[in-house]
Chain A
Amino acid sequence: MCSFNRWMVLLLLPAALVAQTDRDLPLVQGVLQALQRPHEGAILLPVRAGVDGVLVALPGEVPATERPCVLVVAGLNPDHRVGVQVAAQLPQALLAAAKEDPALAECLARCAVEVIAVPAPDALEWAARGALREARAVPAPMDDDNDGLVDEDGPEDMNGDGIIASMRAPDDDGVWRISDEDPRLLVKADASKGERGAWKLTTEGIDNDGDGLINEDGPGGVDLDRNFAHGWKEGEREVGSSCPSEVASRALIEHVLQRRSVAAVLVLGWRDNIAQLPRTNDAAGKRAPNGLHTEDVAWAKPLTASLAKVLGATDGVEDTADGGFHQWAYAQHGLPAFASRVAYRLELPADSKLPSGKAPESLEAKWLLQSDAAVAQGFMPWSPCEHPTWKGAELGGFAPLWKVHLDAAQLAAAVKAQVLAVAAIAQALPRVGVGKLASKDLGAGLYEITADIHCRGLLPMATAQARATRTARPLLVRFVCGTGSLVDGEVLTRLERLGTNGHERLRWLVQTNGTLDVTVSTNSDRCGNSSAQLKVEVR
């Protein structure tokens, strides 16, 4: 008997919302309240108009809005509420952790973390209403089946259980057959092996528009996390008419472009590029690469490994470019960008067996086994259903969103893990500054000035992909000579690269008869600013 339902999803909202679980739950308002809850001694600022989120930091030398920041985004797919739940609790959890961890506190005094938990508020509210269902797209109307009608054939909760289940029916022309692993599961028949299908399978619903298809044009349209300009699948309807085509995705891009100090990205959603390091694939011809720039493996490998460790990320899959936000952030904007699935984790004892006595081989069989062992079972047994056009229809299968559902204890653990992940990324950010600034008297009023510009941290000053895309401005080193005149050297030096723990020595020649007074400053969007002054009384 399945014991998972829509209320279990809604109940696990941030603490501020636990009491509010009626059907008109002001979900977005609650998430924003949780995000913006004051925390003693901390800086919490709204991200900017058009994007609902909060900037989290601790007081430091540089204003929080000017510091390099880690951008955390959740809720790109409105049905991934577990991501929103985690993101909503992240600011408080991060600040609480900083109280216990001086290194994190130092990091938050130097950097900032932005959390955008609700990039598409309408979509989140919409997806939370009605029957529990997978709803990846935002609710803008769309003619999915190109028949001139819009959203005319979506799913129906036929048995009134509050869930849009899977629906199957016997069909000689069907492409599905009963799985050999467990009779509750259906697998696609492989004609090359002589297999024949005997079932048809879709989601719960009827043929509302009489075109012979079921649920082919339901409410909603564009999948935001496929609506960004990298690997965008032009021509596919659900990815939008452009990249971006939606207000929310455009606002997110504009935020990153205008904020300029976003130095890394973490997306909490359906995708993952942490459990498995993306393959390397440098730009080929006039195309952006579908994978990591070869040079970026140097930082991506250790950082991804440490993230996988704190997040317990396993069972990775290839992260193929298809318009995802994190893919755009890296490939087109050169930012270290990570995607974490938050939940969706199989935790089976090593010797687990299906009721048939077989060890599970397929992913679905493993999930089935996990469901059987869970308190809130996610697999709904198939049960007959009266259907106007599908004779012998049955409803059942995995409950929507069950695979990404966490109970209260799991949710707390997930928040804690994401705090560690954000901290790991923030602590890896490059710290660029002016090191040793020295002068050498060459005689006759001539002085050689040297400055060591260094980059510390796991991440380089600019990723190789940022250099390739020319989206990160070079580090600008300005030399200001308070007295005397510059004889040799550049007033403005542009450094395109400073690798992990790299440094560059710059030299200038100054002629002065008075006080030697020079200032060297560095300016970088993604690494912040620094300066050093040298004042020497000349004899």
Chain B
Amino acid sequence: MSRIALMVLLAASALLAQQVPPTPAAQLKLEWNHFYDYSEMTSVLRSMEAAYGGWVQVRSIGKSVEGRDMWLATVNDPAGPAADSKPAMWIDANIHGNETQGTEVCLYTLWYLMENRERLPKVRELLSRCAFYVLPTMNPDGREHWFHAANTSSSSRTGKGATDNDRDGFADEDGPDDLDGDGSITQMRMRVATGGTHIIDPDDARLMKRVKAGKEGTHILMGQEGIDNDGDGAVNEDGPGGYDMNRNWPCDWQPDWLQFGAGPYPFCFPETRCVADFLMAHPNIAALQSYHNSGGMILRGPGAESTPEYPAQDVAVYDELGRAGEKMLPHYRYMIIWKDLYTVHGGSITWAFENLGIFGFTNELWADAQYGGDAGDPDDAQKARIEWDERMELGRNLRPWKALRHPQYGTIEVGGMAKTSSRVPPPFMLEELCHRNTVFTLHHAGEMPQLDVPSLSVTKAGEGLWKVRAEVRNAKLIPTIAALARKRAVVRPDMATLAGELRVVAAGIITGPVHDQKLERQEHRPERLLLPGGVPGKGRVILEWWVTTSDGLAPRGQFTFDALKGGRLTQALPGQ
């Protein structure tokens, strides 16, 4: 190569490098190592709405118990058809107030879709045919309480409706108290002369170790920080709220006395009710993702053993998506709720699938193993958590034991781990969690039904008699109607209509191993064929009408295929 040619090539390369930076500048700069409280989350949504030129629309679908708006972001191409007319994916998070990082995943998903809507062909294609409904928090009260009040990593799971958990006629009167004012609810321990159950771990004085049966310890653990606020002899027995909104859906629902937190009846909470109202009013939703924490799981229904396994066709869809998720999400396992985790009656994703025919997963975000490998038994896990906190976050979450005077117990010590020490990722790992879960969700969205009509033909079948045949194909994995939805008749059948200058004499669906073998005739209203089973995933249906025309000429008119979860296709009959 000549010297000049080389210089030209180098110059061109340099120019190209300038034009395509390794990380393109974001239209909207946001931090992905940050947990957003409710007002920050609201601001982010508003800034997205303002920044992305009509692609993101934010509206409130209801109010929480404490009156906070339930913000829903709808993503749809402003130049295209309405969101409600397209296959859509619903994404929610944070139904449990303390399970916070799902909200960041939701925000990241919105941001990622928007930032890449022109840049990445796959995103562009997805947005051209699908819409997204994203509810970053289903429990804004619980979230706000977890952020701004002293909590553990597991508290503030509930909503904030006052509940009389100890049945004494008072609600929420005896919750935990931040005795040392450090912003976290940690543990209380007391040194005792006899009857001790624990000792200070000789290997690590920050840890408590249970003594073996028959051995005498030096301390007893007194539970979470708190006092007996209502003078009934019990500590922390009736804290804020006290229910579980993910047990409140009418899907094999079982009451509070059989399953804690279910509430007195399904949809008794304004948060679950407004989400259900939205989902029921949007039959175009074909996929659903719900973010929880933690454990690294990709969960599907059924929620209880008493519910039969889903039909094989549906399981095959779930399996393919779930296994893809395992590849995208290291340390996550694809699991069945009742079988591999525990029984959940009245869960949201099982309700959505079994009653609305929406394929959905719950992702339990974050596994401690992501931090530094699997610790093994629980004692080691606690030790590992402290160790990793010390090494990787320089002790951010550790609260050393400190002595204080307790009004009921006397001198005690308070200490342990802060609320951000587990269940949520350390901030420096948040962005990866957001991205991996987002792409899994987009993969799921990408498998929503995509219909087209590869062939539409009119052939003469006799004097004045014509045969119209249409093939409708679904290029994606998810069928327009799940097998279970068909069985339970919870999704309106797909409809294939022929209209125009013609009279339909007979019509039906072509069935059989070889497609032109048999016409399964629909006796009544043949001009509007109903397909209770819809169009299978990666499959097709062939429809046939026998028509006459008043003038004996070939029929003129149009063919329409309308699938609630697959969209609406209209095509003129050929030869017009």
Q: Which residues in B have their C-beta under 8 angstroms from that of A492?
A: 168, 231-232
Task: Pick from A147, A229, A244, A286: contact of B492, CB below 8 A.
Answer: A147
For A234, give the chain B residue with the smallest CB separation: B250
A143→B492 contact, CB < 8 A: yes
Closest Cβ of chain A: how far from B571's Cβ, in Å? 20
Task: Pick from B232, B258, B355: contact of A235, CB below 8 A.
Answer: B355
Q: A253-B264, A476-B169 are in contact. Are A469 and B250 (CB under 8 A)?
A: no
Whole-angstrom CA separation of A470 from B259 in the bound complex: 12
Q: Which residues in B have their C-beta under 8 angstroms from that of A470?
A: 167, 256-257
A211→B524 contact, CB < 8 A: yes
B490→A229 contact, CB < 8 A: no
Q: Name B523-565 residues within 8 Å CB distance of A.
A: 523-525, 530
Residue A243 is within 8 A (CB to CB) of chain B in the complex? yes
Task: Pick from A143, A288, A494: contact of B255, CB below 8 A.
Answer: A288
Q: How many of B's residues come within 8 Å of A, CB to CB?
A: 38
Whole-angstrom CA separation of A232 from B265 in the bound complex: 11
B264→A523 contact, CB < 8 A: no
Task: Pick from B168, B233, B490: contact of A476, CB below 8 A.
Answer: B168
Whole-angstrom CA separation of A474 from B169 in the bound complex: 10
For A471, give the chain B residue with the smallest CB separation: B257
Closest Cβ of chain B: how far from A296's Cβ, in Å? 16
Closest Cβ of chain A: how far from B564's Cβ, in Å? 9
Q: Name A208-224 residues within 8 Å CB distance of B.
A: 209-212
B489→A288 contact, CB < 8 A: no
Q: Name A441-491 residues within 8 Å CB distance of B.
A: 468-471, 473-474, 476, 490-491
Residue A103 is within 8 A (CB to CB) of chain B in the complex? no
Whole-angstrom CA separation of A211 from B495 in the bound complex: 14
Task: Pick from A210, A234, A474: contact of B252, CB below 8 A.
Answer: A234
Q: Name B248-304 residues within 8 Å CB distance of A.
A: 250-259, 264-267, 276, 280, 304
Task: Pick from B169, B255, B354: contact of A469, CB below 8 A.
Answer: B255
B167→A148 contact, CB < 8 A: no
A473→B169 contact, CB < 8 A: yes
B524→A212 contact, CB < 8 A: yes
Residue A192 is within 8 A (CB to CB) of chain B in the complex? no
**From DSSP, what is the main secondary structure of chain B's interface residues?**
loop
B231→A491 contact, CB < 8 A: yes
A234→B251 contact, CB < 8 A: yes
Task: Pick from A146, A212, A257, A287: contact of B258, CB below 8 A.
Answer: A287
Q: A146-B493, A148-B495, A212-B524 are in contact. Are A332 and B168 (CB under 8 A)?
A: no
Whole-angstrom CA separation of A148 from B564 in the bound complex: 10
Q: Which residues in A have their C-beta under 8 angstroms from that of B258?
A: 283, 286-288
Q: How many of A's residues come within 8 Å of B, CB to CB?
A: 38
Whole-angstrom CA separation of A470 from B251 in the bound complex: 22
Whole-angstrom CA separation of A469 from B257 in the bound complex: 5
A473→B253 contact, CB < 8 A: no
Closest Cβ of chain B: how far from A54's Cβ, in Å? 25
B169→A286 contact, CB < 8 A: no
Task: Pick from B169, B266, B267: contact of A523, CB below 8 A.
Answer: B169
Q: Which residues in B have their C-beta under 8 angstroms from that of A471?
A: 257
Task: Pick from A143, A235, A243: contact of B253, CB below 8 A.
Answer: A243
Count: A-B pairs, CB below 8 Å: 86
Whole-angstrom CA separation of A257 from B354 in the bound complex: 29
Counting chain A CB atoms within 10 Å of each CB, which of B168, B231, B495 scores highest?
Answer: B168
Q: Which residues in B have their C-beta under 8 angstroms from that of A3?
A: none
For A283, give the chain B residue with the smallest CB separation: B258
A287→B254 contact, CB < 8 A: yes
Counting chain A CB atoms within 10 Å of each CB, which of B232, B233, B254, B266 scores highest?
Answer: B266
Q: Which residues in B have their C-beta under 8 angstroms from that of A491?
A: 231
Q: Which residues in B have their C-beta under 8 angstroms from that of A257?
A: 264
Whole-angstrom CA separation of A147 from B523 in the bound complex: 15
Q: Which residues in A have their C-beta under 8 angstroms from that of B167?
A: 470, 473-474, 494
Whole-angstrom CA separation of A234 from B493 in the bound complex: 20
Q: Which residues in B have their C-beta under 8 angstroms from that of A146?
A: 489, 492-493
Residue B343 is within 8 A (CB to CB) of chain A in the complex? yes
Whole-angstrom CA separation of A495 from B423 in the bound complex: 39
B280→A241 contact, CB < 8 A: yes
For B267, give the chain A residue with the smallest CB separation: A242
Q: Which residues in A have their C-beta under 8 angstroms from that of B493?
A: 146-148
Counting chain B CB atoms within 10 Å of each CB, which of A228, A241, A473 scores highest?
Answer: A241
Q: A253-B264, A257-B264, A523-B169 are in contact. Are A211 and B525 (CB under 8 A)?
A: yes
Q: Which residues in B have their C-beta under 8 angstroms from that of A147?
A: 492-493, 530
Q: Which residues in B have their C-beta under 8 angstroms from that of A469?
A: 255, 257
A242→B266 contact, CB < 8 A: yes
For A331, give the chain B residue with the smallest CB separation: B255
Residue B59 is within 8 A (CB to CB) of chain A in the complex? no
Q: A146-B493, A229-B255, A492-B168 are in contact. Are A286 and B343 (CB under 8 A)?
A: yes
Q: Which residues in A have their C-beta under 8 angstroms from that of B250?
A: 229, 232, 234, 241-243
Q: Which residues in A have their C-beta under 8 angstroms from that of B253?
A: 229, 234, 243
For A207, give the chain B residue with the smallest CB separation: B524
B490→A235 contact, CB < 8 A: yes
A210→B524 contact, CB < 8 A: yes
Q: Which residues in B have their C-beta under 8 angstroms from that of A490?
A: 233
Whole-angstrom CA separation of A12 from B525 in the bound complex: 45
Residue B345 is within 8 A (CB to CB) of chain A in the complex? yes
For A250, give the chain B residue with the smallest CB separation: B265
Residue B383 is within 8 A (CB to CB) of chain A in the complex? no
Counting chain A CB atoms within 10 Å of each CB, which of B167, B233, B252, B492 scores highest?
Answer: B167
B265→A253 contact, CB < 8 A: yes
Whole-angstrom CA separation of A286 from B305 in the bound complex: 11
Closest Cβ of chain B: how far from A203's Cβ, in Å? 19
Q: Which residues in B have their C-beta under 8 angstroms from that of A473?
A: 164, 167-169
Q: Which residues in A have their C-beta under 8 angstroms from that of B345?
A: 286
Q: Which residues in A have their C-beta under 8 angstroms from that of B530?
A: 147
Whole-angstrom CA separation of A491 from B232 in the bound complex: 8
Q: Which residues in A have their C-beta under 8 angstroms from that of B280?
A: 241
Q: Which residues in A have their C-beta under 8 angstroms from that of B231?
A: 491-492
A148→B492 contact, CB < 8 A: yes
Residue B488 is within 8 A (CB to CB) of chain A in the complex? yes
Whole-angstrom CA separation of A143 from B489 in the bound complex: 11
A229→B524 contact, CB < 8 A: no
Closest Cβ of chain A: how far from B524's Cβ, in Å? 4
Closest Cβ of chain B: how far from A250's Cβ, in Å? 8
Closest Cβ of chain A: how far from B233's Cβ, in Å? 8
Task: Pick from B251, B266, B355: contact of A229, CB below 8 A.
Answer: B266
For B495, give the chain A residue with the smallest CB separation: A148
Closest Cβ of chain A: how far from B407's Cβ, in Å? 16
Whole-angstrom CA separation of A474 from B276 in the bound complex: 34
Q: Which residues in A have their C-beta under 8 angstroms from that of B251?
A: 234
Whole-angstrom CA separation of A100 from B527 in the bound complex: 71
Q: Which residues in B have their C-beta under 8 angstroms from that of A288?
A: 254-255, 258
Q: A242-B266, A242-B267 are in contact. Are A210 and B525 (CB under 8 A)?
A: yes
The 3 A-B residue pairs with the shortest CB-CB distance in the complex, in nearest-first order: A212-B524, A242-B250, A473-B167
What are 28 A-B residue pairs whose CB atoms fall within 8 Å in the complex? A146-B493, A148-B493, A210-B525, A212-B524, A229-B250, A229-B253, A229-B266, A234-B253, A234-B355, A235-B355, A235-B488, A237-B489, A241-B250, A242-B266, A243-B266, A250-B265, A253-B264, A253-B265, A283-B258, A287-B254, A468-B257, A469-B257, A470-B167, A470-B257, A473-B169, A476-B169, A492-B231, A492-B232
Apart from A211-B524, A243-B266, A286-B254, 18 more pairs, CB < 8 Å: A147-B492, A148-B493, A148-B495, A229-B255, A229-B266, A234-B250, A234-B355, A235-B354, A241-B250, A243-B265, A244-B265, A253-B265, A286-B258, A286-B343, A287-B258, A470-B257, A491-B231, A494-B168
